[in-house]
Chain A
Amino acid sequence: MSPSERQDSNQMTGAAMIVRALVDHGVKSIFGYPGGAVLPIYDEIFQQSDIEHVLVRHEQGAGHAAEGYARSTGKPGVVLVTSGPGATNMVTPLTDALMDSIPLVCITGQVPTHLIGNDAFQECDTVGITRPCTKHNWLVRDIKDLPKVLHEAFYVATSGRPGPVVVDVPKDLQFATGTYTPPRKSDVHASYKPQIKGDAGQIRKAVSLLVNAKRPVIYTGGGIINSGREASKTLRALVEAAGFPITSTLMGLGAYPASGKNWLGMLGMHGTYEANMAMHDCDVMLCIGARFDDRITGRTDAFSPGSKKIHIDIDPSSINKNIRVDVPIIGDAGSVMADLLQAFKAEGKTPKIDPWWFEIGRWRARNSLAYKKNDDVILPQFAIQRLFEATRGCDTYITTEVGQHQMWAAQFFGFEEPHRLMTSGGLGTMGYGLPAALGVQVAHRDSLVIDIAGDASVQMTMQEMSTAVQHDLPVKIFILNNQYMGMVRQWQQLLHGNRLSHSYSEALPDFVKLADAFGCVGLQATKPSDLDGAIREMISVRKPVLFDCRVAALENCFPMIPSGKAHNEMLLPAEANDDAATAAFAGGKALV
């Protein structure tokens, strides 16, 4: 090509630039919904075949699907929606992605530049509305800026602490012609420079704490998953080399395998007794890619009172936010762990922590996840255990909705690998799991993708079953149907005098018939003896499935750290009879 020809081939409309930029950033699939302000882009999409467009039924579904895609692949999820209601429907998934550090690139159409500020049809202040729920956003006002902004959007979404970004493109710019430039380093704000490598001096300090620890614990989070597969490998090597016990937040499950011998289970409000006790009694805490969230710490003034704390995080604003730490290390979890591991090995000294393991063994023996077996009704914990057993050996990805079922999934489904659990941790968005499963399935066409759902949550984005059918996405929606908003009911029982205000799921649809109406497969299990067969059938059918698993209505999720209590004041299932619960939640009697 001569330079002038090359010049010509880079002359294109804004709409074409958008598609071209997606291709240049390696995007294979996008999730979207058309409308007036993005029609030129949809016209370009129609005329190409590099990018698959998945048509959802509600823009929120597109956002969560993109999140599922992103979290299961480590690549950014891409969303295309129209102006006004298309953009406002994206607010929930954008916020969700911001809270859980998921890279999303959302392109929104906007009314033509000359109409901005005019209350034009389907106009809204998209950058204003999404400013607090994105890592960064842009309103493009000149076709000259469009390629640069698109490239920067991908860079910002995926680098440093990942997050969602919005690029708002007025319709006249989509029609306007300009020169497309491929991605370059100079596309990025000079002011944005995430720090990857950890400070060597800080790492030395951390190592000297670690090698002298008597009661160490490693506390990991979603940052390890975001850092990439290599980080999980390094973590495993670190645990192996040090011999330390390890626990994780909900977002970090799978970075270290649930079958690993140093695994304590998840920590926090519904974490295991041994994980929370180890956090409370440790003398050195190594926190990697987690942020001392309030679901994790319990009462902060009684949080792990006797420990020196090392905190590895790529985001300086996570350091000393809730909990004061002794050795902060800013940097990418994978990179810092690799340096830490090397320095640790160089010390040539592995701490002897047998007495600590002995103590942990005693906590483990309390068997904090125990539940009473039942032959007549399916217990939700049992259902997840059976699901887990049935899917061993399958290439399985799990998404969840939000509620008790989500916590039981975290407690009873063993995650062996990173990127295998997609769940709404920070925002706790009911309705996340079903569309997220679609996004996962788009990225992993031949894998088994299961949404562990609740009867209430699943109704929030149920319409996306139609998307599953249209795009041949054989996701399995495994509904733990307790006919309640179980988690709400649990809090009402424990804190609000058992007044179950609006937490029942009355007028539930017949999920089997509903599946039929969507053109999917409906299955039901009502007795423990039905369960295995029905699960097998669900796994073997190559179609989207709605599985109505009728579980015990009033089962509650334990163990639990009650509000205002510390890690060592957990309520265990054996103790969770009415009297003990009443005592533990005594403070809860006073209503705000």
Chain B
Amino acid sequence: MNQPASAYFLEERHDPNETHTLSVLVANEPGVLARVIGLFSGRGYNIESLTVSETESKKHVSRITIVTTGTPMVIQQIKHQLDRMIPVYQVVDMTLTGRSIERELAMVKVKGSGDQRIEAMRLAEVFRARVVDATNESFVFEITGGTSKINQFVDLMRPIGLVEVSRTGVAAIGRGPEGM
């Protein structure tokens, strides 16, 4: 193997990337989100989406949902690296459990007149998006669903007169009676 002059062994890995959704329960204390984000940036992991909110205020527990991509070895590393952080209670790979529901919410602003408005409304109905704001020349739709459904909706709105989109990122929860 020829490699440039380096004190490191340079090599490329060719395992295919996978996308995983991780649910992380953390103690809700100052800096905890910075720790998690710093881990991802410091070690060069990807964040596709990240949502965080306190879920059990009495116990000061927050739930972070992270969608990330990487080779299977990297995904395993990410889980271990998260798990060993002091304020992290638990890490569950929702993709591996295969029994999770993933949703995000988006608000989509569309501008247009005449036929464009009618077409926007028609598509909104098909996607079960609600109108949460309307003017003579615009709508704001609220839509929930899986990431691909929202992507699709946004793509359809683009030629009609998409102005802007605000998305929450993915929240995930397991099916059935058990918790994490």
Does chain A bind chain B? Answer: yes
Which A residues have a C-beta under 8 Å from some C-beta of B?
127-128, 131-132, 135-136, 139, 141, 156, 161, 189-192, 294, 297-301, 315-317, 319-321, 324, 491, 495-496, 563-564, 586-592
Measured CA separation A131–B6 after assembly (Å): 29
Contacting residue for A136 out of B8, B77, B86, CB 8 A: B86
Q: Are A319 and B27 in contact (CB under 8 A)?
A: no
Chain A to chain B: the 4 pairs with minimum beta-carbon distance, closest first:
A317-B80, A587-B2, A495-B5, A592-B4
Q: Which of B3, B27, B80, B85 contacts A563 (CB 8 A)?
A: B3
The residues in B between 1 and 21 inclusive whose CB is less than 8 angstroms from any CB of A are 1-11
Given A192-B86, A316-B83, A563 contacting B9 (CB threshold 8 A):
yes
Q: Is the CB of B9 within 8 A of A294?
A: yes
B73 part of interface (Cβ distance < 8 Å): yes
A sample of 6 more A-B contacts (CB under 8 A), given A131-B31, A564-B1, is A131-B34, A190-B27, A191-B26, A299-B11, A587-B3, A592-B6
Cβ distance B154 to chain A, nearest Cβ, rounded Å? 35
A566 to chain B, nearest CB (A): 9
Contacts of A136 in B (CB 8 A): 85-86
Residues of A within 8 A of B81 (CB): 317
Q: Is the Cβ of A591 less than 8 Å from the Cβ of B5?
A: yes
- What residue of chain B has the Cβ atom nearest to residue A497's Cβ? B5
Question: What's the least CB distance linking A529 to chain B, in Å?
Answer: 37
Nearest Cβ on chain B to A548's Cβ, whole angstroms:
28
Q: A131-B35, A192-B86, A316-B83 are in contact. Are A299 and B9 (CB under 8 A)?
A: yes
Contact B87 A189 (CB under 8 A): yes
Which A residues touch B89, using CB under 8 A? Answer: 190-191
A563 to B2, Cβ gap below 8 A? no
Q: Mark B62-100, 1 if CB is under 8 A from A, else 0.
A: 000000000001001100110111111110000000000
Task: Tell me if A191 and B5 are in contact (CB < 8 A).
Answer: no
Set of chain A residues within 8 Å of B2, measured between Cβ atoms: 564, 586-587, 590
State the CA gap A591–B10 with chains docked (Å).
Answer: 13
Measured CB to CB, the residues of B under 8 A from A are: 1-11, 26-27, 30-31, 34-35, 38, 42, 73, 76-77, 80-81, 83-90
Closest to B7 in A: A491
Provide the residues of chain B in CB contact with A294, threshold 8 Å.
8-9
- The answer to whether B5 and A189 have CB atoms under 8 Å apart is no
In the assembled complex, the Cα of A294 lies from the Cα of B9 at a distance in Å of 7
The answer to whether B42 and A132 touch across the interface, beta carbons within 8 angstroms, is yes
How far, in Å, is A146 (CB) from chain B's closest CB?
15
Question: Chain B residue with minimal CB distance to A590?
Answer: B4
Q: Let me know if B80 and A132 touch, CB within 8 A.
A: no
| Inter-chain contacts of A324 with B (CB < 8 A) | 73
Given the known interface contacts A317-B77, A317-B81, A590-B4, the answer about A191 and B42 at a Cβ–Cβ threshold of 8 Å is no
Q: Which residues of B contact A191 (CB under 8 A)?
A: 26-27, 86-90
B166 to chain A, nearest CB (A): 28
Cα A55 to Cα B34 with chains together (Å): 34
Q: Which residue of A lies closest to B31 (CB)?
A: A127
- Give every chain B residue within 8 A of A127 (Cβ-Cβ): 31
Q: How far is the CA of A191 from the CA of B84 in the complex (A)?
A: 9
Q: How far does the Cβ of B15 sit from chain A's closest Cβ, in whole Å?
A: 11
Cross-chain pairs A/B with CB under 8 angstroms, 6 sampled: A131-B35, A156-B86, A317-B81, A321-B77, A564-B10, A592-B5
Name the distance in Å between A105's Cβ and chain B's nearest Cβ.
Answer: 14
Return A344 CB to nearest CB of chain B, in Å: 28
**Do the beta carbons of A315 and B84 come within 8 Å of each other?**
yes
Residue of B nearest to A298 (CB): B9
Q: How far is the CB of B64 from chain A (nearest CB, A)?
A: 13
- Alpha-carbon separation in the docked complex, A317 to B85 (Å): 11
Contact B42 A189 (CB under 8 A): no
Complex CA gap A127/B86 in Å reads 15
| Minimum Cβ distance to chain A for residue B83 (Å) | 7
Of the residues B9, B26, B31, contact of A564 by C-beta under 8 Å: B9
Are A300 and B9 within 8 A (Cβ)? yes
Q: Which residues of B contact A317 (CB under 8 A)?
A: 77, 80-81, 83-84
Residues of A within 8 A of B3 (CB): 563-564, 587-588
> How far in angstroms is the closest Cβ of chain A from B13?
9
Tell me the complex Cα distance, A589–B3, Å.
9
The reply to whether B76 and A587 contact each other, CB–CB distance below 8 Å, is no
Q: Is the CB of B1 within 8 A of A299?
A: yes
The docked-state distance in angstroms from the alpha carbon of A392 to that of B85 is: 43
- By beta carbon, the residue of chain A nearest B59 is A190
Residues of A within 8 A of B42 (CB): 132
A131-B35, A190-B89, A316-B80 are known contacts. Are A591 and B7 too (CB-CB below 8 A)?
no
B4 touches A591 (CB 8 A): yes
Taking the nearest CB of chain A, how far is it from the CB of B164, in angstroms?
A: 32
Do B86 and A132 touch (CB < 8 A)? no
Shortest beta-carbon distance from B70 to chain A in Å? 13
**Residues in chain B near residue A588, CB distance under 8 A:** 3-5
Once the chains are docked, how many angstroms separate the CA of A491 from the CA of B11? 19
User: Given the known A-B contacts A294-B9, A300-B11, are A316 and B84 also in contact in the complex, defined by CB atoms under 8 Å?
Assistant: yes
Bound complex: CA A307 to CA B76 (Å): 22
Q: Given A132-B38, A317-B77, A317-B80, check contact A563 B7 (CB 8 Å).
A: yes
In the complex the two chains form, is B5's CB within 8 Å of A301's CB? no
* Cβ distance A271 to chain B, nearest Cβ, rounded Å: 15
A131 near B5: Cβ-Cβ < 8 Å: no
A301/B77 contact (C-beta < 8 A), A189-B87, A191-B27, A591-B4 known: no
Among A127, A139, A189: residue with most chain B CB under 10 A: A189
Most chain B CB within a 10 A radius of its CB, from A139, A161, A190: A190
CA distance A161 to B80 in the complex (A): 13
Would you call A189 and B27 a contact (CB within 8 A)?
yes
| A98: min CB distance to chain B, Å | 12
A190 to B73 CA separation, bound complex (whole angstroms): 28
Question: Which B residues are CB-close (under 8 A) to A156?
Answer: 86
**A512–B5 Cα gap in the complex (Å)?**
38
Nearest residue in B to A323 (C-beta to C-beta)? B73
Separation in Å of the A183 CB from the closest CB of chain B?
A: 17
Check A301/B6 contact, CB under 8 A, given A131-B34, A317-B77, A324-B73: no
Q: Check A320/B5 contact, CB under 8 A, given A136-B86, A564-B10.
A: no
Q: Do A301 and B11 touch (CB < 8 A)?
A: yes
Q: How far is the CB of A446 from chain B (nearest CB, A)?
A: 38
Nearest to B12 among chain A residues (CB) is: A301
Q: Would you give the shortest CB distance from B37 to chain A, in whole angstroms? A: 10
- Among residues of A, the one whose C-beta sits closest to the C-beta of B2 is A587
- In Å, the complex CA distance between A496 and B76 comes to 38
Give the distance in Å from the alpha carbon of A324 to the alpha carbon of B77 in the complex. Answer: 12
Residue of A nearest to B88 (CB): A191
